[in-house]
Amino acid sequence: MTDMAEPPEDVATTAPATRVGVPRETAPGERRVALVPAVISRLHAMGLAVVVEAGAGEGAQIPDVAYERAGASIGDPWDADVVVKVNPPTEAEVELLGSGSVLIGFLAPLARPSVSEWLRAAGVTAFALESVPRISRAQSMDALSSQANVAGYKAVIAAAEHSTRFFPMLTTAAGTVKPAAALVLGVGVAGLQALATARRLGARTTGFDVRPEVAEQVKSLGARWLDLGVTASGEGGYARSLTAAEQEAQQAALTEAIAKFDVVITTALVPGRPAPKLVTAEAVRSMRPGSVVVDLAGETGGNCEVSVPGSVVVVDGVTIAAPLNLPATMPEHASELYARNVLALLELMLVDGKVAPDFSDEIIAKSCVTRVPESESESESESESESEEKEA
């Protein structure tokens, strides 16, 4: 009788599985989802339980039943140990998070510092995917790059849709049509993908950036390099802000060059600052009617002086498109890539099936935007460390 009353040893000693929650994205126009079934299957195999909000994958054409087949349950994701999102949470969503929980996603720490303040007040440890350092070991976690690839590809498709001309050279019985000339301004991940895609469509491609070290990458894609004599290499793979004199010299040379192109795609960004204006109204007026400008920096003000973020306008016969959140227009593959980035970061944090971030790791430390001390002793230790730093 005594033996029967005692629970089996494995039941008594097995700790509850770490729970990962996947909410439905609520930002206007957002169709991506933070995790896809293939990744959830891997998390399930690692001993993690996943709960997905009903309808979370609808925008990406993923029904709830697909998540259930992968081992997830459908329910409330907000009280999970770890919550993964695509977009920054609203203040109301932060209130749904449990104190001591972990949040992973795009959190806009520079553009929207209030989000970090809400998370800190709620006792949430948060990791911003846009803050993952761009080092070799972190490439699999670099969600900015994975989503920029989608944006660069889709920008060229948008340019082809709005253009009144063919991209490739066509030889027909009625004669030969010359290929379109496409210029990409800013050749980070999105710019390089745009150059590659435009070339696949048959355009003659040219790339420009104020970082001369990327010239070889441009040429490796079969594109020409536009040298305006202005360089501004910055930290972390981004460009620094130009001085007033540098901006004036660049604008004059760029305005003259832009007139020769049928398509201009702009991707230039400076973290935490408004997008630099590269295409002036004068430059737009210098382009032939029927030409197209696709401005990928619309969310931070735009690279084109006459862009209207989120809209398509026509100025002097030139179409200027400034789409917002292009990755959300390709939700299936964008979600798949994003989910792999989240998985890679989670794997780095897991120790014996539990989320235990090692804050001595460069990736963990730099991506963390809010941190809740694990114990009072840790909090006291951090306070002492801060006091020592202030005294120093």
Q: Which residues are catalytic?
A: 134, 139, 142, 145, 238
DSSP readout, 162-209?
H-SS-SS-EEETTEEEPPPEEEEE--SHHHHHHHHHHHHTT-EEEEE-
How far apart are the C-alpha atoms of 388 and 79, rounded to whole Å? 37
Reading the block at residue 3, the tokens are: 């033996």
What is the SS3 assignment for 208?
strand
| Other beta carbons less than 10 A from residue 325's beta carbon | 20
Q: CB–CB of 327/150 below 8 Å?
A: yes
DSSP readout, 316-380?
TTEEEE--S-GGGGSHHHHHHHHHHHHHHHHHHHEETTEE---TTSHHHHHHEEE---SSHHHHH
How far apart are the C-alpha atoms of 297 and 162, rounded to whole Å? 18
Amino acid identity of residue 386, one-letter, is E
What is the tally of helices (H) and strands (E) in the chain?
Answer: 14, 18
How far apart are the C-alpha atoms of 313 and 305, rounded to whole Å? 12
| CA-derived radius of gyration, the chain | 24
What is the SS3 assignment for 26?
coil
| Other beta carbons less than 10 A from residue 217's beta carbon | 18
Amino acid identity of residue 184, one-letter, is V
Query: Could you tell me which of 150, 149, 151, 116 has the C-alpha nearest to residue 131?
Result: 116
C-alpha dihedral, 221 to 223 to 224 to 225, nearest 10°: -50
